[in-house]
Structure 1
Amino acid sequence: MGAEAEVVCQQSLEVQFFPKAADVLEVIQKDVVSVSPTNFDKFQPPDLVSVDLSSSDQLNVNPVEKNLDVALESDAMQFVPCIRSGSFADIGPRRYMEDEHIRIDDLSSHLGSLFQFPQPSAFYGVFDGHGGPEAAAFIKKNAMRLFFEDVKVHQTSEVDDIFSEELENSLRKAFQLADLALADDCSVNSSSGTTALTALIFGRLLMVANAGDCRAVLCRKGEAIDMSQDHRPIHPPERRRVEELGGYIDDGYLNGVLSVSRALGDWDMKLPRGSPSPLIAEPEFRQMVLTEDDEFLIMGCDGIWDVMSSQHAVSLVRRGLRRHDDPEQCARDLVMEALRLNTFDNLTVIIVCFSPLDHQEQSPRQQRSIRCCSLSAEAFCSLRSLLEGSNIR
Structure 2
Amino acid sequence: MNFQTSFPSLRKILVGIHDLGRKMAAGADLSHAFIMLDGSYGGKEIASSLVDEDPNSPKGMEQLKVRKPPRQISIIRHCVNTALLANSAELDLAMGPSRKASSLDGQSRFLPVFRSGSCSEIGPKTYMEDEHICIDNLTDHLGVGADFLSPGAFYGVFDGHGGKDAASFVCNNLLKFVIEDQHFPTSLEKALKSAFVMTDHAFADTRSLDRSSGTTALTALIFGRTMLIANAGDCRAVLGKRGKAIELSRDHKPNCNVEKLRIEELGGIVSDGYLNGQLSVARAIGDWHMKGPKGSTCPLSAEPELQKTTLTDEDEFLVMGCDGLWDVMSSQCAVTIVRRELMDHNDPERCSRELVREALKRNSCDNLTVIVVCFSSDPPPRIDVPKTRVRRSISLEGLHLLKGVLDSNG
Same fold (TM over 0.5): yes
Change (3 A) 1:116 1:92: same
Q: After TM superposition, give the deviation of residue 211 of structure 1 in Å.
A: 0.4
Pair 1:119-2:139 in alignment = no
Structure with the higher fraction of residues in helix conformation: 2
Q: After TM superposition, give the deviation of residue 153 of structure 1 in Å.
A: 4.4
Which residue of structure 1 lines up, in the alignment, with residue 291 of structure 2?
270
Which residue of structure 1 lines up, in the alignment, with residue 316 of structure 2?
295
Which residue of structure 2 lines up, in the alignment, with residue 16 of structure 1?
none
Residues 242-261 of structure 1: matches in 2 within 5 Å? 242-261=263-282
Which residue of structure 1 lines up, in the alignment, with residue 194 of structure 2?
173
Pair 1:206-2:227 in alignment = yes
- Give the residue type in structure 1 aligned to 2:184: H
1:90 to 115, 121, 144: 121
State TM-score, norm by structure 1: 0.69
1:135-178 per-position Cα deviation (integer Å, ceiling 9, x unaligned): 001111223322213x12434xxxxxxx4xx1100001100100
Q: Is the contact made by 2:245 and 2:332 (CA closer than 8 Å) also made in structure 1?
A: yes
| Alpha-carbon separation, structure 2, partners of 1:81 and 1:169 | 24
Q: After TM superposition, give the deviation of residue 279 of structure 1 in Å.
A: 0.2
| Alpha-carbon separation, structure 1, partners of 2:348 and 2:315 | 15
1:361-393 per-position Cα deviation (integer Å, ceiling 9, x unaligned): 2599xxxxxxxxxxxxxxxxxxxxxxxxxxxxx
Which residue of structure 1 lines up, in the alignment, with residue 381 of structure 2?
361
Relative contact order higher in (CA < 8 Å, ≥ 6 apart): 1
Question: What is the percent sequence identity of the aligned residues?
Answer: 57
| Alpha-carbon separation, structure 2, partners of 1:359 and 1:309 | 23
**Alignment RMSD:** 1.8
Q: After TM superposition, give the deviation of residue 75 of structure 1 in Å.
A: 5.1
2:338 to 306, 311, 317: 317
1:138 to 144, 147, 169: 169
- Give the residue type in structure 1 aligned to 2:334: A
- Give the residue type in structure 1 aligned to 2:312: T
| Alpha-carbon separation, structure 2, partners of 1:167 and 1:86 | 25
SS in 2 for 1:292: coil
Q: Look at both structures and tell me which one has the larger radius of gyration over its CA atoms.
A: 2
SS in 1 for 2:339: helix
SS in 2 for 1:268: helix
1:110 to 138, 141, 155: 141
Change (3 A) 1:295 1:190: same
- Greater mean deviation of Cα atoms: 324-333 or 116-125: 116-125
Pair 1:283-2:313 in alignment = no
Q: After TM superposition, give the deviation of residue 77 of structure 1 in Å.
A: 4.3
| Alpha-carbon separation, structure 1, partners of 2:220 and 2:375 | 13
- Greater mean deviation of Cα atoms: 114-123 or 238-247: 114-123
Which residue of structure 1 lines up, in the alignment, with residue 367 of structure 2?
346
Pair 1:191-2:222 in alignment = no
1:152 to 173, 182, 192: 182
| Alpha-carbon separation, structure 1, partners of 2:306 and 2:204 | 24
Q: Which consecutive residues of structure 1, in runs of 5 or more, have no partner in the other structure? A: 1-70, 156-162, 365-393
SS in 1 for 2:343: helix
- Give the residue type in structure 2 aligned to 1:286: Q
Change (3 A) 1:362 1:242: closer
- Give the residue type in structure 2 aligned to 1:125: G
2:109 to 78, 85, 88: 78
- Give the residue type in structure 2 aligned to 1:215: R
State TM-score, norm by structure 2: 0.66
Q: Which consecutive residues of structure 2, in runs of 5 or more, have no partner in the other structure? A: 1-101, 385-410
| Alpha-carbon separation, structure 1, partners of 2:189 and 2:107 | 27
- Give the residue type in structure 2 aligned to 1:267: W
